[in-house]
Structure 1
Amino acid sequence: MLVNRKEMPGLTSVSIMNMILIGFSLTLTISCEASNILVSPLIGKGSHFYLSAAIGEQLLTRGHNLTYLVSNAFEDHVRQSRFGEMFHYEVFKHTIPVEDIHQLFYNLSRSISSRGPSNEYMVSRILFQTQQNDCNAIIEDEILMTRLRSANFSSLLFDSTWVCGAIIAEVLNLPYFAVVPYPSPCFHTASEGSGFNPAIVPSIMTGFSSVMSFKERLFNSLSFLIYHNLGIQVTLKPYRTLCVKHGLPDPYDLMKQTKLWLVNNDFVGEYPCALPPNVIPVGGLTAKDPEQLPSDIESFIQGSGGDGIIICSFGSILILDESNMALMKIFVDAFARLPQRIIWLLKTSPPFPIPSSIKIVPWLSQNDLLGHPQTKAIFFHGGHNSYYEAIYHGVPAVVMPILADQHDVSSRVVNFGLGLKLDKDIITSDLIYEALHEVTSNSAYFQTAKMMSANFRNRPMKPAERAAFWIDHAIKHGTDNLELTGDSLNIFQYYLLDVIVFIFIVIFLSFYFAIKCIKMTFSKLYCFVHIPTKKKTE
């Protein structure tokens, strides 16, 4: 600390020494409270990694040390990112060659050009099997587990998509916190006692809003019951053998022992539902104020004049190959007709002429582009991070969902008035052009986007800061005061079935004895009235 003694005439050498001692003691306090936190961000790829990395960045400012467990297939990708020097890393090895892992994700990207969910289902099934094998390999890698044990971690943060994070934490005897990257927080945290009501809260992958018809409510209720009674069991079943082998609790019980659920949701862009205290909404973890763009990108934007630009970003879902060449031509034809310039995220440029109004880039800083005043809209696949970045920066959207929860994001875009939805199975250049023209020319979308942005930004802490605060708080003070006691109840007690049965029995017996009493009373009255009459007649 530099102090100008001329500006502070009352400052003596003794007081300066006291300030130095106080500062030193504060430094010691921070270092003493620092914790080593292990993070399992799935495999270290894409949006799942960036969510946990955003939280980790804020935990660093609180004095904690972060170690990320990533796969050998994406180790280089992580180390070459801006987070490469920020965290420590431990690497696990996939049970199949790295090239095969990359091919799996390449095949998943083909879902954009396939009709129906067949390709998505096939690749997802293989990915689930790979995750199970990877988890088994991690737990049985004695050298890796020895290193993790000796690192003296205080807790573990994991992506709820992969239950292996909870299994690793249990083996290491660590408390653990989950990041939930999907929409519908009450659906994913129902095991924590979230007030999930299928009448007003849509289930995942239904694409419904909070206002449903009878048919939708029926389907939504069945979807919830089937998933929570069958879907979860099917997902967790492969891990049960591993848990039994190592003497661990059932995977479902392990998930319920999660101390904090950091859900990537905010009720500015999510349907309301009741959350327990240990479920913390931190939607928009990757959204932040924009930074300066590269000069070539800035020059391209400024050349758009008053028309501005549109971002086309389908993440790693949209790739250039023979399966979607026709789709690329549809995109180009639609973009060429728009007055705005287009910045398009695409690893490889198409082998046909591209108009000068379209700039294809292999990588883009989407958050910085969304924060540019010349950005008029984003055309994307319904990624959850992109959705909240668009809200944060107040940018209207056109969404074309491809798979999984992207259909849920698209329903929120439409129902909150942020933009429009397109169906990939019937897509044409006219439909793309009309949707983008509508959201960029109709001021209603712009006004809704700015209103949502103002609401979203008016918070005491940014999402990543809020997540880091609660993790820090949980490490220091525990979460006993935040957790509901529902786990100690069986299904009859939790849903008050025993109480309801008891009340019905009491009501039934009350009516039964009341009717008996009434019958006996009327019988006595009847005898009392008719006996004298018989005597007079005789």
Structure 2
Amino acid sequence: MATVPPRWVVLSSGLLLVVLIRGYVQAQNILINPMIGKGSHFYVSAAIGEELIHRGYNVTFLLGGAFYDQARNSRYGDMFHWEVFQHPIPRKTVHDMFTNLTKLILGGGFQQEMKIMTELMTARVNDCTALLEDKYLIGRLRSANFSAVLYDMTWVCGAMVGELLNLPTFVVYPYPNPCLVTSSQGSHFHPAYVPSFMTPYSNQMKFNERVVNSLLYILGALIGHYYYAPYIGLTKRFNVSEPMLLMANSKLWLVNTDNVGEFPCALAPNVIPVGGLTTRSPEKLPSDVDEFIQGSNDDGIIICSFGSFLILDQNSLRLIRVFSEAFDRLPQRVIWLLKEHPPFPIPANIKILPWLPQNDILGHRKTRALFFHGGQNSYYEAIYHGVPVVVMPVYGDQKDVGARVVNQKLGLKLDKDLLTAEILYDALHEVTTNITYTKRAKEMSFAFRDREMKPAERASFWIDYAIKHGTHHLEIPLRRLNFFQYYLIDVILFVLLFVILTLYISFKCLMLVRSFICNCHIKSKLD
């Protein structure tokens, strides 16, 4: 005969079930739109999303169909809910476009960089059009009862989705040098001590560098309008604010920088530094990778990681040969991220992998250096684990990272157009044998880790705080001021007018006094 559980057990179980159901129902929903969902932009936002889940939020990712499978098969696959918009071109064409861009990037030159920027802008505007035209998708997003939208700064479409859904928007800024971009929030960008985008300058510039930096600051402001101009037609069509205003209206800015590795500047209260979003404690490595590392003995290993910027084709074959020749001379073993094996023999001390757990390998005690392209995430992962670096910038903001590596004395910077096997070997040899680089890396690691919260935890805390309490008390009322008020032109004109009137009245008074004295003097003579 089955025993009936005591009444208090039934009541307790029912009460617990009600609490759990109520907690699930009342959980806040966050929509994250990390551009189209590719590469580092996705992983930065995913790190924040994971921490939001730990805080009890439901997280939905909105990304492009070309990279949905890649994201779904990652460690985040079962962690998030997913919404997908379709590209106006086939998936293969999207992937081919990024492959072709990689070829252009390796070609170098300012004209090539502008061509790349134009192609990327055109593709993103077309993607945004497809997203906003999908009425069923927008309808699903509307009915999901989201509390806020978190989007990538390079993807203004995320802000447009937020306004269409009538939701507060938060921004992730994934690059170095946040002050210029967040100036709309009241952050102070001063070209006398804050280097502009894509410059090799530090925060201590000579006269000629300050001249160039100031001109680049003006050029950067103009390029910003150029970058968002293609979206203006879409904002009018869907009746949302113009792009620059959409960005400025974002309530919270999470910038992927930290003062340990960045040139400090004055940030507004609603601009939160969360540099190193992808950093974390190392996890267990795959057995083949661990065996390769353990076999390096006391010499240790070097990581070579250029992300998707180094692919095997005729444009990159010279660089790949240079890398291989330099690595062959090193006493260390090298783990090399490369999608395909080169068409020539690879030295025994090299292990080529199409994908590698970079953060986990950086955290291994036998890792001696990182040779990379200057990606922001890799930069902070190296700082987190205290690993010196050799950086060879390829494109865009990687030049900014290169400047910071040199200024922080974390490692050395190389020029890809002048690279030889000898130069690369000398740089890696210097960084792995000169104890000052390792010592500096450990110092930066200690300063970076000495915090109560990790970067992703800090980001999720501020999102949670902003949803609960709003951000009105964090915002500088910059957008309420017009041009004349912001630059105090009305105040300056008033002061000038007051000074002029004061001088005029004083002059007239002096003239009257002078006239009176002269008249008195003449009258006394006549008497």
- TM-score, structure 1 length as denominator? 0.93
Give the alignment of 1:333-372 within 5 angstroms. Answer: 333-372=325-364
Equivalent residue pairs, number? 522
Q: Shift of residue 28 of structure 1?
A: 6.2
Kindly tell me: are residues 491 and 352 of structure 1, through their superposed partners in 2, closer, same or farther at Cα, counting changes over 3 Å?
same
CA distance in 1, matches of 2:25, 2:470: 17
Contact persistence 2:326–2:422 (CA under 8 A): yes
What code does the residue aligned with 2:506 have? A
CA distance in 2, matches of 1:307, 1:151: 54
Other structure's SS at 1:186 match: coil
Other structure's SS at 1:323 match: coil
Match of 2:215 in 1: 222
Give the alignment of 1:415-430 within 5 angstroms. Answer: 415-430=407-422
Give the alignment of 1:148-187 within 5 angstroms. Answer: 148-187=141-180
**Which 5+ residue runs of structure 1 have no aligned equivalent?**
1-12
Match of 2:45 in 1: 52
Describe the superposition over 1:22-48 as per-residue Cα deviations: whole angstroms up to 9, x where unpaired. 977875674354111111111111000
Q: Shift of residue 100 of structure 1?
A: 1.6
Q: Does 1:37 align with 2:30?
A: yes
Q: Does 1:127 align with 2:120?
A: yes
CA distance in 2, matches of 1:314, 1:404: 14
Q: Which of the residues 301, 304, 310 maps onto 2:293?
A: 301
Other structure's SS at 2:30 match: strand
CA distance in 2, matches of 1:434, 1:110: 27
Other structure's SS at 1:78 match: helix
Kindly tell me: are residues 87 and 350 of structure 1, through their superposed partners in 2, closer, same or farther at Cα, counting changes over 3 Å?
same
Other structure's SS at 1:174 match: coil
Q: Shift of residue 367 of structure 1?
A: 0.3
CA distance in 2, matches of 1:23, 1:259: 36
CA distance in 2, matches of 1:472, 1:32: 17
What code does the residue aligned with 1:114 have? G
Kindly tell me: are residues 77 and 14 of structure 1, through their superposed partners in 2, closer, same or farther at Cα, counting changes over 3 Å?
same
What code does the residue aligned with 2:168 have? P
Kindly tell me: are residues 129 and 519 of structure 1, through their superposed partners in 2, closer, same or farther at Cα, counting changes over 3 Å?
same
Please say which of residues 423-432 and 106-115 is displaced more in the overlay. Answer: 106-115
Describe the superposition over 1:65-113 as per-residue Cα deviations: whole angstroms up to 9, x where unpaired. 1111111111111111111111111111111122221111101212453
Q: Does 1:266 align with 2:258?
A: yes
What code does the residue aligned with 1:150 have? S
CA distance in 2, matches of 1:410, 1:420: 8
What code does the residue aligned with 1:365 have? P
CA distance in 1, matches of 2:140, 2:14: 37
Match of 1:97 in 2: 90
Describe the superposition over 1:320-357 as per-residue Cα deviations: whole angstroms up to 9, x where unpaired. 11111111111111111111111100011111111111
Contact persistence 1:265–1:283 (CA under 8 A): yes
Contact persistence 1:287–1:389 (CA under 8 A): yes
Q: Which of the residues 226, 232, 243 maps onto 1:234?
A: 226
Match of 1:9 in 2: none
CA distance in 2, matches of 1:185, 1:15: 58
What code does the residue aligned with 2:74 have? S
What code does the residue aligned with 1:78 have? A
Q: Shift of residue 507 of structure 1?
A: 2.0
CA distance in 2, matches of 1:156, 1:364: 31
Contact persistence 1:370–1:393 (CA under 8 A): yes
CA distance in 2, matches of 1:59, 1:460: 17
Other structure's SS at 1:67 match: strand
CA distance in 1, matches of 2:366, 2:62: 39
Q: Does 1:402 align with 2:394?
A: yes
CA distance in 2, matches of 1:380, 1:191: 32
Please say which of residues 268-277 and 213-222 is displaced more in the overlay. Answer: 213-222
What code does the residue aligned with 2:75 have? R
CA distance in 2, matches of 1:18, 1:499: 70
Describe the superposition over 1:123-154 as per-residue Cα deviations: whole angstroms up to 9, x where unpaired. 33112101111111111111111111121211
Give the alignment of 1:381-392 within 5 angstroms. Answer: 381-392=373-384
Match of 2:239 in 1: 247
Q: Which of the residues 107, 119, 125 maps onto 2:100?
A: 107
Q: Shift of residue 225 of structure 1?
A: 2.4
Q: Shift of residue 468 of structure 1?
A: 0.6
CA distance in 2, matches of 1:279, 1:177: 10
What code does the residue aligned with 1:204 have? F
What code does the residue aligned with 2:424 have? I
Give the alignment of 1:272-283 within 5 angstroms. Answer: 272-283=264-275
Contact persistence 2:197–2:220 (CA under 8 A): no
Q: Does 1:460 align with 2:420?
A: no
Kindly tell me: are residues 25 and 394 of structure 1, through their superposed partners in 2, closer, same or farther at Cα, counting changes over 3 Å?
farther
What code does the residue aligned with 1:331 have? F
CA distance in 1, matches of 2:471, 2:30: 17
Q: Which of the residues 487, 510, 514 maps onto 2:479?
A: 487
Contact persistence 2:104–2:116 (CA under 8 A): no
Q: Shift of residue 460 of structure 1?
A: 0.8
CA distance in 1, matches of 2:186, 2:345: 56
Other structure's SS at 2:42 match: helix
CA distance in 2, matches of 1:412, 1:242: 37
Contact persistence 1:112–1:318 (CA under 8 A): no
What code does the residue aligned with 1:209 have? S
Please report the RMSD computed on the Cα atoms of aligned residues, expressed in angstroms: 2.1
Kindly tell me: are residues 391 and 518 of structure 1, through their superposed partners in 2, closer, same or farther at Cα, counting changes over 3 Å?
same
CA distance in 2, matches of 1:313, 1:72: 26
What code does the residue aligned with 2:434 have? N
Report the identity percentage. 54
Contact persistence 1:104–1:123 (CA under 8 A): no
CA distance in 2, matches of 1:384, 1:231: 22
Contact persistence 1:379–1:397 (CA under 8 A): yes
CA distance in 2, matches of 1:392, 1:23: 41
CA distance in 2, matches of 1:29, 1:481: 31
**Which 5+ residue runs of structure 2 have no aligned equivalent?**
1-5
Please say which of residues 14-23 and 53-62 is displaced more in the overlay. Answer: 14-23
Give the alignment of 1:492-531 within 5 angstroms. Answer: 492-531=484-523
Match of 2:80 in 1: 87
Contact persistence 2:199–2:403 (CA under 8 A): no
Q: Shift of residue 366 of structure 1?
A: 0.4
Please say which of residues 124-133 and 455-464 is displaced more in the overlay. Answer: 124-133
